[in-house]
């Protein structure tokens, strides 16, 4: 029997990032359009991911 270990999530979707930051997903889209907010990666025209460490850095610098 092998033990399984949970793999930490390194990236989250726009909706998950918005929930973590306490803002609406629309706010994150507005920030992306203005060039503000946390760093993100556009994976495809319809998929944007945020690295967890970038969200943590954004929260640290915003406070």
In tens, the pLDDT along 6-33 reads 777 899 999 999 999 999 999 999 999 9
Output the six-digit token pair for 59: 């929260």
What is the model's pLDDT at position 63?
65
* Residue 1 reports pLDDT greater than 70: no
In tens, the pLDDT along 36-45 reads 999 999 999 9
In tens, the pLDDT along 46-55 reads 999 999 999 9
Domain ranges of the chain: 11-62
- Spatial separation of the C-alpha atoms in residues 50 and 38, rounded to whole Å: 8
């Amino acid at each position: 029997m092998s033990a399984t270990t949970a793999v930490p999530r390194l990236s989250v979707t726009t909706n998950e990032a918005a929930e973590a930051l306490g803002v609406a997903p629309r706010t994150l889209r507005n920030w992306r359009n203005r060039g503000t907010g946390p760093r993100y990666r556009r994976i495809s025209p319809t998929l944007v991911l945020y690295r967890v460490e970038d969200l943590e850095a954004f929260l640290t610098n915003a406070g």
